[in-house]
Chain A
Amino acid sequence: GGIITQTPKFLIGQEGQKLTLKCQQNFNHDTMYWYRQDSGKGLRLIYYSITENDLQKGDLSEGYDASREKKSSFSLTVTSAQKNEMAVFLCASSMRSQNTLYFGAGTRLSVL
């Protein structure tokens, strides 16, 4: 089996700050995803990447950048944190030919 590791687990930022979230997977999966979860809502796709150095926008990409530095890692940057923002950011991966998703434990963001 494999594992998806997200760092940090908790992130507290200031309004306007640039914040970076990291994700590593050892499944050797081709595709990686960043989803955002707001309280009481389902997950919404921010960015995904089908291979190293590829980047595709999801439904919620405005205000975010992403980078797929190598096959095993995918990072997400909040370009300017919004005051009172609170959400959980979930990283996931899948084999290219399938769409079964495997998720990390999440990064919980709070902006003061």
Chain B
Amino acid sequence: GDKVKQSPSALSLQEGTNSALRCNFSIAATTVQWFLQNPRGSLINLFYLVPGTKENGRLKSTFNSKESYSTLHIRDAQLEDSGTYFCAAPYRGSALGRLHFGAGTQLIVIP
């Protein structure tokens, strides 16, 4: 089964509103990474997290390793936030970038 499950699979947001994306792990994740794939296809690294919280502008991410989930909060959504958001966690025992990826959340921000 899927080691990394993302929800929702798709989401429409009105510009200026807030939302949260979720990532659940069936593996013992020690770190998590969040990426945004923009409409051109480029993958941008948003966060690299150990257990805890990080914030960057209108984005905030939390990783709870004990309960095996991570969330990505988007505040005051803008049109340029549209794209597909992926979370990923490393293979067990691997310190390298071998990552299990979720299937993504496709976000559309509407004017």
- Measured in the bound complex, the distance between the Cα atoms of B94 and A50 in whole Å is 12
Chain A: interface size category: 20 to 34
- Please give me the residue from chain B that is nearest to A99 by CB atom: B97
Are A100 and B45 in contact, with the CB atoms below 8 A? yes
- A19 at interface by CB-CB < 8 Å: no
Fill in one digit per residue for A9-49: 1 if any B CB lies within 8 Å of its CB, else 0: 00000000000000000000001010100001111110010
User: In chain B, residues 43-102, which have Cβ atoms closer than 8 Å to a Cβ of chain A?
Assistant: 43-45, 48, 86, 88, 90, 94-102
Q: In the bound complex, do residue A45 and residue B41 qualify as a contact, i.e. CB atoms below 8 Å apart? A: no
A residues in contact with B100, CB < 8 Å: 42
Give the contacting residue for B96; candidates A50, A90, A106; CB below 8 A.
Answer: A50
Which A residues are CB-close (under 8 A) to B28?
Answer: none
Q: Which of A31, A50, A90 is in CB contact (< 8 Å) with B43?
A: A90
A88-B40 Cα distance, complex, nearest whole Å: 12
Interface size class, chain B: 20 to 34
Please name all residues of chain B whose beta carbon is closer than 8 Å to the beta carbon of A102 when the two chains form the complex: 45
Q: How far is the CB of A55 from chain B (nearest CB, A)?
A: 14
Q: Tell me the complex Cα distance, A43–B101, Å.
A: 6
Q: Which residues of A contact B (CB under 8 A)?
A: 31, 33, 35, 40-45, 48, 50, 58, 88, 90, 92-94, 96-103, 105-106, 108
19 contacts across the A-B interface (CB closer than 8 A): A35-B101, A42-B101, A43-B86, A43-B88, A44-B101, A45-B98, A93-B97, A97-B95, A98-B95, A99-B48, A99-B90, A99-B94, A99-B95, A99-B96, A100-B97, A101-B35, A103-B43, A105-B41, A106-B42
